[in-house]
Structure 1
């Protein structure tokens, strides 16, 4: 990571600061790695509620008796749940100031996630460029990995988002 200060606090008076949420385009440097903390332990409620909200009613996710008969022997956390949590974990230090998400690419589900697993996220800045059509804005591309408590990658993707440059506000 570079040694430049990031725009996380804005001075608004003598020893008085306003917390900022997220980074500006200027704060990103290709190659920087962000370890997103804290992690998030997956609960039964997370898996059941989110599976039902997403209308993912596959019994492997919500039926313990059925899941016991599968190769996993227990309910598997829905990939939509895992995707949502990893996305949320990575938001504050990547795209909290984004104007728009532009897309996710190369989404890979690499290992199963189970109730009780704790997930963490790590993002690497892959590319950035000024917007060709929107002055004062740029496009940042990151690669995010979701890791379990054993530091095994369970999910990865690349994501691009449109984000503003710093202003003197």
Structure 2
């Protein structure tokens, strides 16, 4: 058996290339509750069934930053497994609501890449990721820049 490879090198990313990430995650009530407690987001739309049923969606909404965190995590094996650093996130959009027991999938597109201006052993990739649910409905999108190692420099 061969060891699995975590992440891609800078040279492996192709501008315009798309990745359909293999990981996915069903969001359970316990995930939402723990995340709400951990992040001190106690808004009742995330934790109170009675309150949630009387509001816009009629059921508990998953905390948006949990969906964002999961989407980033799902991309790690492909996008940032060989990263030196995530340089920044931008243009984060909550496109549609996420509910308990929804399953999150992610696809990413490489928008741009360039070598580092100061160090030859690394480069920056610019990527857009879109999270979608089990019904193929986009629920979240974001862009980020990632500083990634180049081959033969480890």
The two structures share one fold, judged by TM-score above 0.5: yes
1:75 equivalent in structure 2: 60
Unaligned runs of 5+ in 1: 1-15
**Using CA pairs below 8 Å that are at least 6 residues apart, which structure has the higher relative contact order?**
2
Q: Is residue 143 from structure 1 mapped to residue 143 from structure 2 by the alignment? A: no
Give how far 1:153 is off: 0.6
In the alignment of these two chains, the number of paired residues is: 154
Q: State how far apart, in whole Å, the 2-side matches of 1:19 and 1:104 are.
A: 27
The alignment partner of 1:19 has SS state of coil
1:87 equivalent in structure 2: 72
Give how far 1:38 is off: 3.0
* Larger radius of gyration between Structure 1 and Structure 2: 1
Q: Is residue 154 from structure 1 mapped to residue 147 from structure 2 by the alignment? A: no
Unaligned runs of 5+ in 2: none
Q: CA RMSD in A?
A: 1.2
Q: State how far apart, in whole Å, the 2-side matches of 1:18 and 1:45 are.
A: 32
More strand by proportion, 1 or 2? 1
2:99 equivalent in structure 1: 114
Give how far 1:168 is off: 6.8
